[in-house]
């Protein structure tokens, strides 16, 4: 399913929302597993690598998380390890842009990040689910401090340019009104005896009690204005102290208005397995994880090394590369084994003598389009003016997402928002713009939700992943058909070459996919080494 490539077809995200709303979380999780979006991490700890023959060498291509996990474990086990990395930094897509950083994308556009000290944006991964045990374990081993990432904020917004005259609605209000009206409808059906064939009278009584509580219904099983509903959706006037303390209840939206707005389509996002509480982020930016690995492996990583060819024979692997600071001069590195973590979008363009099945697999997997825009503002107006502390606002505008920082709460001074997280056709449109235009559009669209944008905006930076020279895309987009045909071939050890990365996992786009893929492949290579060869 590649529905994100067309405005007229259903995206995988739309499909999952529909399944979740109509059939419940269990059905949605099953569908996500089939699409490779929610498989539980298989992490049980690093493999045991004792007894490696002295001097056995492994060349690792790429210092992203997969490459560095492999290098870390192999190096500790006594292997002779070399890592070639295209960028001048470790981490790959595990990356944080801070003030003073410079980034040049394909086409020659160079951006200079102007964020104030302590402010940042994560162009790549930005959250860690609680069940991604492998990544969490390495954060612990490397002393990378974590803090909560706020996924669902009931006071953030749901927004559609086509609903409520373009006025954003609080998540809590849409959530309460959708649940309340659905609960009232089901209560009426139950009271009319239309469920007697499916539900016993005793269970009908329990169902009514549960619907009253779940939907904040009154004593007549109606969803109507009053203290119960205001306690869910918020008040017109908040309760306080003194003579003016009495609250004023809010008026629920009509069911038709809630349904026709389509804002309900975002209510299940925080219930998807990978977004359930608690999520985490690295303190100071997700790139702290890659930086910590880089410190551990600084003696074995060669930066600014652009791989140009990979060749294996019966005894080892030779890799040609050039220094990106001095192009035109080719050097080589050789080892007994090679673990290649280069994204398939790049690897498919490199000469490499592997079997036809692996070559076909490398060529077959497309990469998703994605664009992230970070915006710095003069003050944290979302907190000061709108009581939004962390979380995400969803919109049908091309920016798709506004994410509020999950750190620095209630502090004075400036702040940085994720002002856009575009994907699909919207991402292609943003990618075609200059970085300056992407930032300008993000401010323009965002001001439809937050009018303060234009007055408070200071500077921004935009990363379009299809223009990132080290990935040419955001992450591998497998389908069931592609997995059935190519996944096993992609993950085989081919002679003396093996692949690792999020693309070689059932956790695509997640750092945990890279971690578990690397651990799997080093365990299998170690078995080959101990068995005495490549066969």
Domain of 229: which CATH number? Answer: 1.20.1440.240
Length of the chain: 535
Q: Does one domain contain both 372 and 281? A: yes
**The CATH number of the domain where 504 resides is what?**
3.50.50.60
Torsion angle, CA of 331/337/343/349, rounded to 10 degrees? 60
The more confident residue out of 89 and 269 is: 89
Listed in order, strand segments (DSSP E) in 174-267 are: 235-237, 248-249
Q: Does one domain contain both 188 and 323? A: no
Provide the token pair at 278: 């608690």
Q: Does one domain contain both 463 and 410? A: yes
* C-beta neighbour count of 443 within 10 angstroms: 21
pLDDT for position 323: 97
Q: Does one domain contain both 346 and 486? A: yes
In a domain, 342, yes or no: yes
In a domain, 21, yes or no: yes
In a domain, 403, yes or no: yes
In a domain, 432, yes or no: yes
In a domain, 165, yes or no: no
Torsion angle, CA of 327/503/104/70, rounded to 10 degrees? -60
Q: Does one domain contain both 201 and 256? A: yes
Closest Cα partner for 518 from 79, 68, 27?
A: 68
pLDDT for position 39: 59
Is the pLDDT at 5 greater than 90? The verdict is: no
In a domain, 90, yes or no: no
Cβ 152 vs Cβ 224: under 8 Å: no
User: How many structural domains compose the chain?
Assistant: 4
* Average pLDDT over the chain, rounded to an integer: 92
pLDDT for position 38: 52
User: Which residue matches tokens 């910590």?
Assistant: 292
Q: Does one domain contain both 434 and 391? A: yes
- pTM, rounded to two decimals: 0.91
- The C-alpha angle 156, 373, 147, rounded to 5 degrees, equals 55
pLDDT for position 532: 84
Q: Does one domain contain both 516 and 432? A: no
Give residue 489's domain range: 57-85+303-365+479-531
pLDDT for position 23: 40
With the C-alpha atoms ordered 473, 475, 481, 487, is the resulting torsion angle positive or negative? positive
Reported as a single tens digit per residue, the pLDDT across 350-399 is 999 999 999 999 999 999 999 999 999 999 999 999 999 999 999 999 99
Q: Does one domain contain both 352 and 486? A: yes
What is the rounded distance in angstroms from the CA atom of residue 1 to the CA atom of residue 262?
A: 23
Q: Does one domain contain both 106 and 185? A: no
Q: Does one domain contain both 359 and 373? A: no
* C-beta neighbour count of 517 within 10 angstroms: 28
Cβ 461 vs Cβ 442: under 8 Å: no
Cβ 507 vs Cβ 40: under 8 Å: no
In a domain, 341, yes or no: yes
Closest Cα partner for 90 from 111, 67, 110?
A: 67
In a domain, 166, yes or no: no
Q: Which of 467, 500, 521 is the last residue of a domain?
A: 467
User: Which residue matches tokens 């090679």?
Assistant: 338
Cβ 463 vs Cβ 97: under 8 Å: yes
What is the rounded distance in angstroms from the CA atom of residue 460 to the CA atom of residue 237?
A: 36
Provide the token pair at 216: 């904040």
Q: Does one domain contain both 102 and 79? A: no
């Amino acid at each position: 399913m590649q529905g994100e490539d067309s405005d007229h077809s259903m995206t995988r995200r739309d499909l999952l929302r529909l399944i979740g709303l109509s059939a419940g979380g269990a059905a949605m999780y099953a569908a996500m597993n089939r699409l490779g979006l929610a498989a539980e991490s298989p992490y049980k700890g690093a493999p045991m690598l004792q007894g490696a023959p002295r001097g056995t060498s492994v060349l690792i291509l790429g210092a992203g998380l997969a490459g560095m996990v492999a290098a870390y474990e192999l190096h500790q086990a006594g292997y002779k390890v070399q890592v070639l990395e295209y960028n001048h930094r470790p981490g790959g897509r595990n990356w944080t842009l801070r003030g003073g950083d410079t980034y040049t994308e394909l086409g020659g556009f160079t951006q200079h990040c102007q964020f104030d000290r302590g402010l940042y944006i994560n162009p790549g991964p930005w959250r860690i689910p609680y069940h991604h045990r492998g990544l969490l374990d390495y954060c612990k081993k490397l002393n990378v401090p974590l803090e909560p990432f706020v996924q669902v904020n009931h006071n953030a917004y749901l927004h559609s340019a086509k609903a409520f005259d373009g006025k954003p609605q609080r998540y809590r209000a849409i959530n309460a009104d959708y649940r309340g009206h659905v609960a009232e409808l089901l209560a009426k059906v139950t009271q009319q005896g239309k469920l007697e064939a499916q539900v016993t009278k005793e269970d009908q009584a329990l169902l009514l009690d549960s619907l009253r509580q779940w939907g904040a219904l009154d004593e007549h099983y109606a969803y109507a204005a009053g203290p119960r509903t205001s306690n869910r959706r918020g008040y017109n006037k908040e309760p306080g102290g003194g003579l003016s303390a009495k609250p004023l209840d809010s008026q629920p939206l009509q069911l038709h208005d809630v349904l026709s707005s389509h804002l309900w389509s975002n209510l299940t996002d925080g219930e998807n397995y990978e977004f359930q509480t608690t999520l985490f982020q690295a303190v100071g930016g997700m790139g702290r994880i890659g930086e910590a690995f880089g410190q551990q492996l600084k003696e074995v990583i060669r930066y600014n090394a652009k791989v140009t060819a990979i060749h294996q024979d019966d005894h080892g692997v030779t890799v040609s590369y050039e220094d990106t600071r001095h192009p035109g001069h080719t050097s080589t590195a050789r080892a007994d084994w090679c673990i290649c973590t280069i994204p398939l979008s790049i690897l498919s363009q490199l000469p490499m003598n592997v079997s036809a099945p692996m070559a076909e697999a490398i060529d077959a997997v497309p990469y998703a389009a994605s664009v992230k825009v970070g915006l710095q503002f003069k003050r944290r107006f979302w907190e000061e003016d709108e009581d939004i502390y962390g979380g995400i606002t969803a919109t049908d505008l091309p920016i798709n997402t506004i994410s509020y920082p999950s750190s620095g709460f209630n502090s004075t001074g400036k702040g940085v928002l994720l002002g856009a997280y575009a994907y699909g056709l919207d991402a292609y449109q943003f990618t075609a713009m200059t970085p300056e235009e992407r930032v300008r559009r993000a401010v323009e669209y965002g001001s439809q939700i937050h009018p303060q944008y234009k007055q408070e905006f200071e500077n921004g930076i935009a990363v379009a992943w299809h223009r990132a020279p080290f990935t040419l895309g955001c992450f591998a987009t497998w389908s069931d058909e592609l997995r059935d045909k190519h996944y096993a071939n992609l993950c085989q050890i081919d002679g003396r070459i093996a692949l690792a990365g999020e693309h070689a996992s059932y956790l695509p786009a997640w750092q945990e996919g890279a971690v578990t893929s690397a651990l799997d492949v080093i365990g299998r290579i170690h078995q080959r080494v101990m068995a005495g060869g490549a066969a």
